[in-house]
């Protein structure tokens, strides 16, 4: 072998050593990241389980149909539907004004009641 070939081979070996020197750090970072991802996947799986339980609970409540009373309205093909709105003008109701009562004044402070016998 010529000296030039040996120098070239030595350069390749140095570059390989440099590349291999960083492999343990990359492997450690990969292990840490993998553990973090697996932990998050477990959290998501637990959350999905909780959501499925909540869904089943809600479905059970809805299937009970309320408080046991008969439905308020049954619409069939032969019965007319009940109108659920009232036609006419909209009435504006004034907003309430501050007032004083026996317990609270208009600032919200509590007044003491005096009882006499």
How many Cα atoms sit within 13 Å of 98 on the Cβ side? 6
Task: Summarize pLDDT for 23-50 with one digit per residue, the tens.
Answer: 999 999 999 999 999 999 999 999 999 9
The answer to whether 75 and 81 have CB atoms below 8 angstroms apart is yes
- The angle subtended at Cα 15 by Cα 10 and Cα 20, nearest 5°, is 125
Residue 31 φ then ψ, to 5°: -65, -45
Tens digits of residue pLDDT in 84-108: 555 566 666 666 555 545 555 555 5
pTM here? 0.41
SS3 (DSSP) at 33 = helix
Comparing 58 with 78, the larger pLDDT belongs to: 58
Instruction: Answer whether residue 22 shows pLDDT above 80.
Output: yes
């Amino acid at each position: 072998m010529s000296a030039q070939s040996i120098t070239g081979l030595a350069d390749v070996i140095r570059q390989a050593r440099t590349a291999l020197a960083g492999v343990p750090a990359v492997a450690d970072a990969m292990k840490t990241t993998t553990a973090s991802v697996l932990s998050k996947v477990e959290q998501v799986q637990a959350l999905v389980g909780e959501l499925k339980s909540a869904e089943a609970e809600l479905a059970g409540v809805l299937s009970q149909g309320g408080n046991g009373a008969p439905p308020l309205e049954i619409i069939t093909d032969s019965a007319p539907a009940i109108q659920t709105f009232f036609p006419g003008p909209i009435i504006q109701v004034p907003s309430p004004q501050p007032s004083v009562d026996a317990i609270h004044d208009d600032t919200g402070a509590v007044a003491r009641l005096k009882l006499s016998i």
